[in-house]
Structure 1
Amino acid sequence: MGETMQAAVIAAPGQAGVLEVPRPAAGVGEVVVRLEGCGVCASNLPLWQGRPWFSYPALPGAPGHEGWGRVQEVGEGVTGFSAGDRVTFLSYNAYAEFDKVPGNSLVKLPASLDGIPFPGEPVGCALNVFRRSDIEAGQVVAVIGAGFLGAIVTSLAQSRGARVIAISRRASSLEIARRYGAWETVPLDDHQTVLDRVRELTGGKWCDRVVEATGYQWPLDLAGELVKERGKVIIAGFHQDGARQVNIQLWNWKGIDVINAHEREAKVYLEGIRRGIAAVESGLFQVNDLMTHAFSLDELAQAYQALEQRPDGFIKGMILL
């Protein structure tokens, strides 16, 4: 093996390239993974687009945090992993040929998933969102945003016995939601039209749970109107590109619970990944259905452009190595 590797670098807003950088070595308690691929996450669009609080160039491989691959090197003190193990993991520099990962931040992938792309971090995020949502049989659940996360939550909710109303602006996403068991689908095109349709579907009772999975202001506003009194709004979208406003008068009057479903503890993410693997093995959803667009390492700019523009059929992009 050489001493260097290729890594993508976001050099400036809207600009990316590939550099030759030193290949990491496993220190005590660390594992080096040779990447097979890494998902491209909408939460990183602000870094790609540029915001005053970011500095450039970004670190080599950043902000790739949805990687999977095979163990290349195991550092001293790490147990349970061997060279060649196929894994998914938590890191932040996975837009590269290799990444160095803490030995307690990996999950082995079973042989049943061989050959299937598996970005463990967003899968774990979706399973944790579902767990926090407290969805039960017989409930009406609105999922606003039927992308990768929304599609998985739709599948899990309907398997629990809930009736899911999937709301999304793109017809291809609504089709995925129907395939994954949505009871009804509603285009996210006009605020009042969405309200009228959900009122009709629920007989004016509104929704027991509303999962907001877009990360934008308008769907957050919509969520507060769609939820019933004493219902729950689950904020699953990543609202990180600026301040948000909410109608606290409405939320307070309805007496709703608001759940910020993002996790920060690695052990919680890892448990979500394990539950996600089990869900895939039991047939609740198929990750390869949702990984719709593939790019090479030197096409990171095109991957982010696709994420911004959402071409027809786009659910999630990935960098393959």
Structure 2
Amino acid sequence: MATYRAHRLTGPRTFEAVALDLPDPQDLKAGHAVVRLESGVVCGSDIPRWDGSEWSGFPAAPGFPLHEAVGRVVHSRSDRLPVGSRIVGIPQHDRGVQEMFVASDEAAVVVPDDVPPAVAAIVQPLSTVVYAVERLGDVSGRSVLILGFGALGHLAAWLLRLRGAEVATVDPVPEPEAATWGSERHFDVAAAGLSGADLDRAPDIVVEIVGHGQDAVADAIRLVRPRGTVLVMGVPRPGAVLPLEEAFRRNVALVSSVGPPWREYLTKARALVELHTDFLARLITHTVPFDAAPEAYELYAQRVPGRLKVAVLA
């Protein structure tokens, strides 16, 4: 029987290469498609599962954890995902580190052939940013401080600036091209090291995209102006708590954002990627071949200047 390649997480930071039987098209559920991977891109939310800091289900199913993927449909039971079409789709159960993955038409969108594979995969993380920014309403003329200037922070700054916000960013990693992405002022310190005195005025909105803890959210509540808004995008660690009394006393509006209605927001993000393909390609700073996929996680785990998105090319 024909096989395809995959990587399986057997322990913290440890992948092994495996060969899997090709899926039987007759086992495919309605509304789903089998997709041949072109590129997968590592997300910050994958890292705590990869390194075991927030997950302990080893050994994992083959292909886990990766959810930003683009590929070509080879079998389909969906009119929305015809055979031969190229799609950005969230692999079922986040199992995207494999040459074949299954995607649902509720979490996939067809993308044009002329967008490079790794850039096309940006449609998925951008969809989450579009959804989050829309939850803020009209941001024109409002001051926004973004805590966490990784890949999602770059996308958030860019999109908020496009919508007329005044944007500043905070991250310990220096970013000489911050202005290119819409940040008018970048503070290369940890959020805990930033005080109100460092800012011209307390921001109307603070966006937290650090995640995996609770300190950054506390910093966001501390830094936002009274009656301002804190948008939480960073994935929290299980058991995280909030300084609710401080938020309450200062009349802070807390907004959380995760998991948009996928089809709608993947479609919105696709339009932006098609319009700004060359610019958004800057987000892909490192690529590795499929055989070296484990290296993509090691690269992404390093918070160093010049490292944004890491793509695996099949």
Using structure 1 for the length normalisation, give the TM-score: 0.88
Q: CA deviation at 1:227?
A: 0.8
Matches within 5 A, 1:3-18: 3-18=2-17
**2:81 aligned with 1:84:** no
Alignment partners' CA distance in 2, 1:131 and 1:88? 21
After superposition, residues 206-245 of structure 1 pair within 5 angstroms as 206-215=202-211, 216-240=213-237, 242-245=238-241
State the alpha-carbon separation in 2 of the partners of residues 190 and 103 from structure 1.
39
- Name the amino acid aligned to 1:281: E
Where 1:31 maps in the other structure, the secondary structure is: strand
Q: Alignment RMSD, CA only? A: 2.1
Give, as a single letter, the amino acid of the residue that structure 2 aligns with 1:220: V
Name the aligned partner's letter for residue 178 of structure 2.
Answer: A
* Structure 1 residue 106, shift from structure 2 partner: 1.9
Contact (CA 8 Å) 1:151, 1:176: kept in 2 or not?
A: no
CA shift for structure 1 position 283: 3.1
Displacement after TM superposition at 1:51 (Å): 4.6
Q: Which residue does the alignment assign to 1:306?
A: 299
Q: Within 2, Cα distance between the matches of 1:234 and 1:52?
A: 23
Inter-CA distance 13–208: structure 2 relative to 1 (3 Å threshold): same
- Counterpart code for 1:63: P
Distance 2:80 2:49 in 1: 35
- State how 1:163-202 maps to structure 2 within 5 Å: 163-171=166-174, 174-189=175-190, 191-198=192-199, 201-202=200-201
Query: Which moves more between the two structures, 157-166 or 114-123?
Result: 114-123
Q: Mean Cα displacement is larger for which, 38-47 or 228-237?
A: 38-47
Equivalent residue for 1:295, pick from 288, 305, 313: 288
Does residue 260 of structure 1 match 2:260? no
Shift of 1:284: 9.0
1:202-245 per-residue CA deviation (whole Å, 9 max, x = no partner) reads 2xxx11111101104332221111111111100011113x3223
Which residue in 1 is equivalent to 2:36? 34
Which of 84, 107, 110 matches 2:109? Answer: 107
How many residue pairs get aligned? The number is 307
Q: Deviations over 1:135-189 (max 9, x none)?
A: 4111000111111111111111111111001111111xx3343111212111224
AA aligned to 2:283 is L
- Structure 1 gaps, min length 5: none
Gaps of 5+ in 2: none
CA distance in structure 2 between the aligned counterparts of 1:67 and 1:116, rounded to whole angstroms: 8
Contact 1:125 1:272 in 2 (8 A): yes
Moved more, 91-100 or 300-309: 300-309
Mapped contact 2:207–2:231 kept (Cα < 8 A): yes
Secondary structure at the aligned position of 2:176 is classed as helix
Alpha-carbon distance in 2 for matches of 1:25, 1:94:
18
The structural deviation recorded for 1:132 is 1.6
Matched, 1:139 2:139: no
Secondary structure at the counterpart of residue 233 of structure 1: strand
Q: Which shows bigger deviation, 33-42 or 188-197?
A: 188-197
Note closer, same or farther for the CA distance 1:275–1:10 as it changes in structure 2 (3 Å cut). Answer: same
Q: 1:103 and 1:250 mapped to 2: Cα distance? A: 43
Deviation at 1:194, TM superposition (A): 4.3
Q: CA deviation at 1:71?
A: 1.1
| CA contact 2:147–2:191 (8 Å) conserved in 1 | no
Q: Tell me the amino acid that sits aligned with residue 79 of structure 2.
A: T
For residue 255 of structure 1, what is the amino acid of its counterpart? N
In structure 2, the residue corresponding to 1:136 is in which secondary structure?
coil
Which deviations, in whole Å up to 9, do the C-alpha atoms of 1:88-130 show, x marking residues without a partner?
0022211111112224332010245255532232121111111
Per the alignment, do residues 314 and 53 of structure 1 end up closer, same or farther by CA in structure 2, a change over 3 Å counting?
closer
Q: Secondary structure at the match of 1:207?
A: coil
Query: What is the aligned counterpart of 2:72 among 59, 70, 84?
Result: 70
Query: Identity, % of aligned pairs?
Result: 24
TM-score (structure 2 length as normaliser): 0.90
Instruction: State whether structure 2 residue 157 is matched by structure 1 residue 158.
Output: no
Cα pair distance change 1:302/1:160, threshold 3 Å: same
SS at match of 1:230: coil
